[in-house]
Structures are given as structure tokens and as C-alpha cells.
Amino acid sequence: MFVYFNGQVIEDNEAKISIFDHGYLYGLGLFETFAVYDGHPFLLDDHFKRLQKGLHELGIDWTYDKEKVMSILRELMVSNGLKDAYIRWNVSAGVKPVGVFDETYNEPSVSAFAKPLPQSSNKPRKVEILDIRRNTPEGKQRMKSFHYMNNLLAKRELLDRNSSAEGLFLTGDGYLAEGIVTNLFFVKNHVVHTPSIETGILDGVTRRFLISLLKKAHVNVKEGFYTVDDLKGANEAFITNSIQELIPIELDGVDLEMEGKYFTYLKKEYQHFKHFLWSRDEI
């Protein structure tokens, strides 16, 4: 596999990072995961706007240069023989003295890799409520950070159950939060609901895009605090992220419409826009 690492596209085994990089030592770094469809990186501007905002809050000096990013992505795609791809773009704080650093990280380590994009599917995905609770954000809002311990422990909980389901986190107060790698939507009485970012979830790029689509269609969308019973009373429900797109869900003991009116509308719009849209602001 060819990867991008600090200015070069190289073989993955040639990419070396210092043990004194604060991304390695302290988990201080952010990443974005997004899909490329036939050479087009869907919602690229939204992903990198979120990335740059988070890096600024962490004091990591890195600026989104769209032309440069596109050049890197094209080289990655060609080098790996891909037209459609799963991309992960990483910005690590970089090398600084050991200890808590309170100045600007002015030499971050930047890397990216591309791998084949999984086929999207409308096949329902089973979800299970996790025992482990969603940890609270370490800042004002959750960032897409290298710190993934809560997600990993949740995944291991499912493995202990011999389950291949997507796990759904609850907050410490028992409200619905998000999946291990997904955001949650459900429909009840013609209103589309999704947990508020005030629950501590990641404000997913796909989540925000779907909310924009619904509002454009004059659909009533509410972001709030919901219980498992609220989900059990839904007419339809689905999970989302930038790689899996939209997936209807199954929850034990709940009769959910697998491809309901709202899911079908959003799926159709997603397929339409994914080949050319740079930002939800364009719809």
C-alpha cells in the first residue's frame, strides 16, 4: 500500500513516526474519514472545516489547502489503483519535549491512506445497547481524536457477547448517544429525531448533511435527549457515517420499518449528491 506521509507518497513500511510525537505519547491528534466516489471526495470541505477547527482548539498549526489536498488524494488513488476509496487523513501534534506542552504545535505530522471502499448496502444492521457508557467530551464538544479507548472497550464488550452488532452508547444519564462508529436517527409520528450534540456525541459530517437535506425538504427534525423507550416506539430508524452511508437498523423486540419513507428519501438524495458535492452548504 502507498500512503502519504509528511509531503511524500511512499510505501507504508517506509513511514516512520517519532516515539516523541505527542500524538503517540498523549493521543494528541485528529483525523477525518471520508469516501471518494469515482475520484470525488464527498463533502471534503465539511470534513476539513471540522478538522481545522478542532486543530485550532488544540493549538496544532495546520491549514486546509484544498488544491494541495486534492493533489495528494489523486496521487494516493493512482498509486493504489483506486477509483472509489475509503480515506483516512491524520494530523498528529508532532514532536515536542516530553510533558504537557502549552505552546503551539508548529510542526505537525500529517499522513493519509486509501483503501478500497466497501459497497453500500440497505441490509438492516442489528444494534445492541451497550453497558459501557459514552465518555464525556474532554473539551466543549467531542472531536474526532486519536483517543479511541471508549470505542475500543465498547467493541470488546460486543465481542464478549459474541455479537457482530453495532453498539449503541447511552450517556451517563441514560440517554441515547451514538453508535461506536455511527450517528443515530429515528422517526416517530412524522418527526425525524437524532440525539443532540449536547449529549456529548460527535457531530458527524454525514449527520449534519442529512439534517440539512431534511430541513430543505421541510421535514420536522429535532435534536434532543431521548431514551431507549423513545427508540423502541419509532416507526423507522437508521445509523449513518461517511463510509457506511445510511443503514436501517434492527433492535430486539422492536418492529421497525426497514426502508421507510424518510430513509428512502435520504438514501436517494445521498446517492445523487455523493458524486459532486463538496459541502452541505451547496444544497
* pLDDT at position 42: 99
* pLDDT at position 236: 94
- pLDDT tens, per residue, the chain with 283 residues: 999 999 999 999 999 999 999 999 999 999 999 999 999 999 999 999 999 999 999 999 999 999 999 999 999 999 999 999 999 999 999 999 999 999 999 999 999 999 999 988 888 999 999 999 999 988 888 999 999 999 999 999 999 999 999 999 999 999 999 999 999 999 999 999 999 999 999 999 999 999 999 999 999 999 999 999 999 999 999 999 999 999 999 988 777 777 799 999 999 999 999 999 999 999 9
Q: Which residues contact 40 (CB under 8 A, 6 or more apart)?
A: 274, 275, 276
The DSSP H or E segment spanning 157 is: helix 149-160
Cell digits of residue 236? 423507522
* pLDDT at position 123: 86
Q: Enumerate domains of the chain plus CATH numbers.
A: 2-116 (3.30.470.10), 125-282 (3.20.10.10)
Instruction: Decide: 191 and 221 in contact? Cβ < 8 Å.
Output: yes
Integer Cα distance of 56 and 127 in angstroms = 35
Number of neighbours of residue 26 by Cβ within 10 angstroms: 16
Stated pTM of the model: 0.96
Integer Cα distance of 118 and 194 in angstroms = 25
* pLDDT at position 252: 81
Instruction: Decide: 47 and 279 in contact? Cβ < 8 Å.
Output: no
- Residue 216 to residues 13, 37, 227, 264, Cα–Cα distance (Å): 46, 24, 27, 16
* pLDDT at position 122: 80
Integer Cα distance of 82 and 66 in angstroms = 20
* pLDDT at position 91: 99
Integer Cα distance of 162 and 73 in angstroms = 37
Instruction: Decide: 102 and 228 in contact? Cβ < 8 Å.
Output: no
* pLDDT at position 233: 92
* pLDDT at position 51: 98
* pLDDT at position 132: 98
* pLDDT at position 101: 95
Residue position matching grid coordinates 476509496: 85
